[in-house]
């Protein structure tokens, strides 16, 4: 599915392909993708630990931005 994003700081519009997760409780974006799109990232004071459906910690690590 394609969606349009707008960067808050510059109002630049970007159209991207996305995969929706109907079980997700928050919205997330891959940090490398955000960097490629020149989005401004802000490091979280308390990174979010990511767990898989089975409860194990995800190999991708915590959400840092």
Distances from the Cα of 50 to the Cα of 1, 26, 38, 47, 60, angstroms: 24, 12, 24, 9, 8
The pLDDT value recorded for residue 7 is 85
Mean pLDDT over 44-57 rounds to 90
Q: What is the pLDDT of residues 8-47, one digit of tens each?
A: 888 889 898 887 777 777 777 788 888 888 888 899 999 9
The pLDDT value recorded for residue 17 is 87
**pTM of full prediction above 0.85:** no
């Amino acid at each position: 599915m394609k969606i349009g994003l707008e960067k808050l700081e510059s109002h630049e519009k970007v159209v991207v392909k996305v995969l929706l997760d109907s079980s997700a409780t928050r919205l997330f974006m891959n940090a490398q993708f955000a960097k490629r799109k020149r989005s401004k990232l802000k490091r979280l004071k308390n990174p979010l630990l990511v767990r898989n459906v089975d409860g194990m910690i995800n190999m991708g690590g915590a959400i840092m931005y």
